[in-house]
């Protein structure tokens, strides 16, 4: 099998269509079909299922995809290394991000990086912690922002300590004499919660402090959560980074006991990054790593 065959397979897996893959790769639909047929004949099993709804991976195809991604990523690394030896800064970097980093940091990262490295292309994938973990492990992205607690066995470089705040509808804090919200006060409120995959650090705080929260609202998006709080459907815990320039009338207070998440930059093989990826990694670390995490 050739690299083109691998690229055809990956592109179809990404877009779910032979015709769309042909447009993206600049090939005819018949060439795409021939490449997949040849691949399946050589493998001895089907990797794609065709139906009226589109094209999807078979179980065998799903198992092969991470290895195909690894081959294509190695090819990209080789091209970047050759460009590096020739004194050129070029290539592609794929980054996975979660919501608050996407809105607060990413625009400035992209702007400052592209200004300095015009020949390096950047592709961004936004999702939950679980999405980013999956993308890193399966070679979909080169780098990913995660909280340290959600990274688990993925190597991660700590960057930033982000305080957790308790968010209430404006003017509803019961104890006006304190500038924080303690556990006892939280127990008197219903919560608007997010799924574990969205912010594991908040779920950890609830468990560590024996907060058996009751909630009828389980959302994924940060701003959707805060919007429900504004309208009086409950309170929530939210990282401070999320609360910058929000358009909702809510009050936020530090928690007691205090809590935070540590945001980091993760890569599956940090010692073997392609030149463009290493350049982006260093750019982000230099820009956002707080003193307490510097080595």
Task: Please give the full DSSP string across the chain, using - where no structure is assigned.
Answer: --HHHHHHHHHHHHHS-HHHHHHHHT--HHHHHHHHHHHHHHHTS--EEEETTEEEE-HHHHHHHHHHHHHHHHHHHHHHHHHHHTT---EEEEEEE-HHHHHHTHHHHHHHHHHH-TTEEEEEEE--HHHHHHHHHTTS-SEEEEEHHHHTTS-EEEEEEEEEEEEEETT--S-TT-SSEEHHHHTTS-B-EE-TTT-HHHHHHHHHTT-----S-EES-HHHHHHHHHTTS-BEEEEGGGGTT-SS-EEEEEEES--EEEEEEE-S-GGG--HHHHHHHHHHHHHH--GGG--
Measured between its terminal Cα atoms, the distance across the chain in Å is 44
The residues, any chain, with a CB within 8 Å of residue 182's CB and separated by 6 or more, are 255, 256
Residue 150 in domain? yes
Residue 119 in domain? yes
Does residue 229 register a pLDDT over 60?
yes
Residue 70 in domain? no
pLDDT of the residue at 196: 60
Does residue 108 register a pLDDT over 90?
yes
Question: Which CATH number does the domain housing residue 133 bear?
Answer: 3.40.190.10
Q: What is the pLDDT of residues 246-273, one digit of tens each?
A: 889 999 999 999 999 999 999 998 888 8
Residues 288, 167 share a domain: no
Residues 173, 204 share a domain: yes
**The last residue of a domain, from among 64, 80, 107:** 64
Residues 283, 214 share a domain: no
Q: Domain residues for 195? A: 162-259
Mean pLDDT on 71-100: 80
Residues 287, 149 share a domain: yes
The residues, any chain, with a CB within 8 Å of residue 147's CB and separated by 6 or more, are 129, 199, 200, 201, 261, 262, 263, 264
Q: What is the band of 195 on the pLDDT scale with cuts at 50, 70, 90?
A: low
Domain count, the chain: 3
8 Å CB contact between 145 and 132:
yes
d(CA 168, CA 170): 6
Q: What is the band of 234 on the pLDDT scale with cuts at 50, 70, 90?
A: confident
Does residue 45 register a pLDDT over 60?
yes
Residues 167, 250 share a domain: yes
8 Å CB contact between 280 and 110:
no
d(CA 205, CA 21): 44
Residues 168, 155 share a domain: no
Angle CA 167–293–158, to nearest 5: 65
Residues 149, 272 share a domain: yes
Q: Which residue has the higher pLDDT, 175 or 156?
A: 156
Residues 255, 175 share a domain: yes
- pTM for the full model? 0.71
Residues 179, 241 share a domain: yes
């Amino acid at each position: 099998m050739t690299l083109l065959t691998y690229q055809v397979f990956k592109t179809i897996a990404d877009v779910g269509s032979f015709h769309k893959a042909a447009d993206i790769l600049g090939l005819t639909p018949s060439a795409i079909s021939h490449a997949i047929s040849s691949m399946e004949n050589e493998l001895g099993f089907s990797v794609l299922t065709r139906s009226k709804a589109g094209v999807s991976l078979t179980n065998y195809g799903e198992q092969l995809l991470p290895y195909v991604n690894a081959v294509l990523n190695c090819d990209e690394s080789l091209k970047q290394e050759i460009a590096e030896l020739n004194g050129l800064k070029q290539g592609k970097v794929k980054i996975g991000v979660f919501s608050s980093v996407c809105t607060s940091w990413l625009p400035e990262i992209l702007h400052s990086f592209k200004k300095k490295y015009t020949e390096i292309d950047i592709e961004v994938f936004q999702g939950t912690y679980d999405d980013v973990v999956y993308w890193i492990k399966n070679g979909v992205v080169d780098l990913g922002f995660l909280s340290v607690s959600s990274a688990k066995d993925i190597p991660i470089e700590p960057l930033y300590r982000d305080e957790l705040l308790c968010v209430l509808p404006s003017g509803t804090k019961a104890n006006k004499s304190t500038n924080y919200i303690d556990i006892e006060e939280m127990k008197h409120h219903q919560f608007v919660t997010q799924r574990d995959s969205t912010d594991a650090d908040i779920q950890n705080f609830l468990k560590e402090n024996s907060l058996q929260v009751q909630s009828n609202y389980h959302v994924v998006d940060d701003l959707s959560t805060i919007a429900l709080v504004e309208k009086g459907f409950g309170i929530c815990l939210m990282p401070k980074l999320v609360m910058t320039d929000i358009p909702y009338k809510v009050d936020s207070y530090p928690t007691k006991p205090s809590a935070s998440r540590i945001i980091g930059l993760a890569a599956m093989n940090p010692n073997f990054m392609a030149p463009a990826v290493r350049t982006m990694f260093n750019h982000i670390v230099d820009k956002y790593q707080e003193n307490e995490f510097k080595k």
